[in-house]
Chain A
Amino acid sequence: MHLEKKKSLKALAIAATIPFVLTACASGSTETSSSSDSDSGDSGSTSSDTAQIEVFSWWTGGGEEAGLNALVEVFNAEYPNIKFENGAVAGGAGTNARAVLATRLEANDPPASFQGHAGLELLDYITAGQIEDLSFLYDEMGWSDVMPQELLDLITVDGGIYSVPVNIHRANVMWANPSVLEEYNLDMPATWDEFFAAAEVLQAGGVIPLALGEQWTQLHLFETVMLGELGTDTYNGLWDGSTDWASADVTSALETFNRIYDYTNSDAASLAWQDASQLVISGDAAFNIMGDWAEGYFRVDNELVEQEGYTWAPSPGTGGTFQFLSDSFTLPVGAPDRDSTIAWLKVAGSAEGQDAFNVQKGSIPARNDADQSIYPPYLQEAMDDWSSNAGAPSLTHGTAASNGWKAEIETALGLFLGTRDVAAFQDALATAAAAQ
């Protein structure tokens, strides 16, 4: 009897330890990136003749990775003595990467350079004195002359420019299925009122008027609706304090936003942005609003032909405005080898580097002297718009507001989705803005 009891206790003990062993295995796999970081640091200091840079990003798949590789190729050709090490951390929009990065910056162990959205997303690093002002590089390389003044204005913080933008994406694009439009005899809506009229027709025919995805894509929709309803100047004023978040204009824009939810798919919260695009491709939905990275998804991943399988226009009410976001690279204070990082930034800001990167990534160069002929039709059109349109910063993608402010707006939006209470939503938005 004694023996039996012991046996059963052992079984119990083994059973009880299994989950901890399993979780330990799971967490072990995420450590690999940081351990390889420290290896690189060691080898960098021992061999002095070949320098090494570790560039930190969240580009680990698809066109993003291909773009980064193309940029590295240009870099290797120009600086054969500097070894490039890819310090990418997987995870959409960099949420995982940012957590790892914050830890390393805190420990004074910065990578040679890290990716960040140009604009106020970098504000935390700037106020903490963790990245250098790169104005000297803009002067030296003459970038101020080849990058649009509007872009430079929006990414200048306290008189300094703290990163080198490699690309521009457009946020305010409405995508549509041309055969659905033809079937119901509809045009791309130029205003939200036109959209509502079209939506009634589509809904009566059993088509989802606007395909929507998980919460961040709804924040993306929110910013394009605000831009479309408020107009460019008033929208831009939301971020610099000249527009009152509690004003009647904002109320009516929020009411429009609220009304859109009557014309969306009920399973939005369980769809990624690609799933929402897929609804448009299959004809289950007519429209979708997403940044222009969706163009690559239509053209490359789904092998569709523009104007046949998909079409696009600026999102309702935003014609003539280019709501943008930009990926950029930084120079951390205390970078292991400052000169090598500057070499990397010079390539990232060069016309050659930007063309190599953007053709692969499916975005347009931040410079306005790129070679248009090598880009597909959508991007050529985007380049024309970029040089002629008014500019507005994207909230969802880090240009318009600091991380803290953006998180408060995200929370307010999430609460609104549960209650659909416009007044409470506006209160929360105004409170968040007042705290900045």
Chain B
Amino acid sequence: MKSLQRHWLSIALLSPSLILLGVFVYGFIGLNINISLTDEVGLNNNDANFIGLENYIKLLDDPRFHIDIWNTIVFSFSFIGITLALGLGLAILIDSKIPAEGFFRSVYLLPMAVSFIVTGVVWRWLMNPATGERTSGLNLLFDVVGLDFLINQWHLTPTWGMLGIAVPAIWQMSGYTMALFLAGLRGIPEEVKEAARMDGASELGIYRRVILPMLKPVALSAVVILAHISLKVFDLIIAIAGKQIALDVPAIYMWQTTFDAYNFARGATLATYILISVAIFVIPYLIVTNRKEKV
């Protein structure tokens, strides 16, 4: 009897957020998918017809969408990979009992306090691709210190321009990844490391066989967080490069086609593709965490 009461109480306490989530997240996802299956264009939406998956198929043939996919892949792999590596490296360095640890921790974490827009504007200046007398920003620095071979077109490099966009994103998020890994490192009990040392493991061996495996859950959360940022990247590109097709990603295409051209059907289709791509990362993560919690 008592447990039944508690049962109802918990449902009552949860219901407001469940209802809000249901309407504003899942309800709108449903609404969005619904629009993506019609030919709704323009502000007069009374004459939209159901056309099935036609929008999805048409988009696969769209040369602009091909550029979007390529750019997302280039950005995601470079951003997630390098951010993880840098974050882990910084965390290991800071964890090795250096003096003024708190100071360095804050310094590395600080870029995160800045919004992507601010980062974008500053890096737009730093990554100025002008040549000759008008060379400026990082290219000028390279020129002055004699590293001329590093001078490049940054985000305006054909095909690989997204690597240039990834640079500021890595700068901004690697400190945060470091904080995640640092928390993970601090969570590894000293006894385990000592036991390994007693068994004759080298310091490198301890990292490889003890510490890194124990950091796996942290790494997984970091990947999920970084992946959803990279798949939804929008403001950073707008701030650095404005709207240009060479640096287009699905989120920018969705914005332009929805709000500049009022092509709601295509916008909703793009939004669904973005949702699916994020889900590919997030759902396995949820399954893994769920399974662990049950054990």
Contact = CB atoms under 8 A, between A and B. Distances in A.
A124 B42 contact: yes
Contacts of B67: 415, 418
Nearest to A217: B242
Interface in B18-67: 41-44, 63-64, 67
Contacts of B43: 102, 105-106, 124-125, 127-128, 130
A408 B41 CA distance: 13
A95 B113 CA distance: 27
Nearest to B132: A206
14 contacts: A15-B183, A16-B180, A16-B225, A22-B113, A26-B115, A98-B259, A102-B43, A267-B156, A404-B261, A406-B260, A407-B263, A414-B244, A414-B246, A415-B64
A11 B244 contact: no
A269 interface: yes
A102 B262 contact: yes
A417 interface: yes
A413 B244 CA distance: 10
Interface string B150-187: 00010110100000000000000000100110111011
A266 B130 contact: yes
Given A19-B112, A125-B43, A404-B261, A415 B63 contact: yes
A215 B242 contact: yes
Residue picked from A105, A127, A129, A403, most chain B C-beta under 10 Å: A403
Nearest to B131: A266
Interface residues of A, number: 48
Interface stretch (A1-9, A45-53, A175-183, A358-366): A1-9
A22 B246 CA distance: 29
Nearest to B182: A11
A315 to B, nearest CB: 22
Given A267-B130, A404-B41, 19 more contacts: A1-B191, A5-B187, A8-B184, A12-B187, A12-B221, A18-B176, A26-B117, A95-B259, A99-B259, A102-B259, A265-B130, A266-B156, A267-B156, A270-B155, A404-B263, A406-B261, A407-B260, A408-B261, A417-B245
A252 interface: no
B189 interface: yes
Contacts of B257: 407
Nearest to A2: B189
Q: Which 10 A-B pairs have the closest CB atoms?
A: A414-B245, A407-B261, A8-B187, A128-B43, A128-B44, A99-B259, A12-B183, A11-B183, A215-B244, A267-B130
Contacts of A407: 256-257, 260-261, 263
A284 interface: yes
B243 interface: yes
A214 interface: yes
Contacts of A26: 115, 117
A296 B52 CA distance: 51
Contacts of A411: 64, 245
A215 B243 contact: yes
B47 to A, nearest CB: 10
Nearest to B154: A270
B64 A414 contact: yes
A95 B259 CA distance: 8
B128 interface: yes
B218 A12 contact: yes
Interface string B280-291: 000000000000
Nearest to A99: B259
Interface string B215-256: 000100100010001000000000011111110100000001
Given A22-B113, A102-B43, A414-B64, A269 B218 contact: no
Given A415-B63, A417-B244, A284 B134 contact: yes
Nearest to B185: A8
A12 B180 contact: yes
Contact of B44 (A8, A22, A129): A129
A127 B64 contact: no
Contact of A214 (B218, B242, B261): B242
Contacts of A267: 128-131, 134, 156
A258 B162 CA distance: 25
A8 B182 CA distance: 9
A250 to B, nearest CB: 20
A101 to B, nearest CB: 9
B91 to A, nearest CB: 11
A419 to B, nearest CB: 9
B156 A270 contact: yes
Contacts of B176: 15, 18-19
Interface in B61-93: 63-64, 67
Contacts of B42: 124, 127-128, 404
A270 B113 contact: no
A418 B261 contact: no
A404 B156 CA distance: 27
Nearest to B229: A19
A190 B238 CA distance: 36
Nearest to B133: A284
Contacts of B225: 16, 19
Interface string A96-130: 00110010011000000000000000001101111
Interface in A194-231: 206, 214-216
Interface string A280-322: 0000100000000000000000000000000000000000000
Interface string A381-419: 000000000000000000000011011101101110110
Nearest to B180: A15
Contacts of A129: 44
Contacts of B260: 95, 98, 403, 406-407
A135 B191 CA distance: 85
Nearest to A129: B44
Contacts of A19: 112, 176, 225, 229
Interface in B119-133: 124, 127-133
Interface in B98-129: 112-113, 115, 117, 124, 127-129
A7 B130 CA distance: 50
Contacts of A270: 124, 127-130, 155-156, 240-241
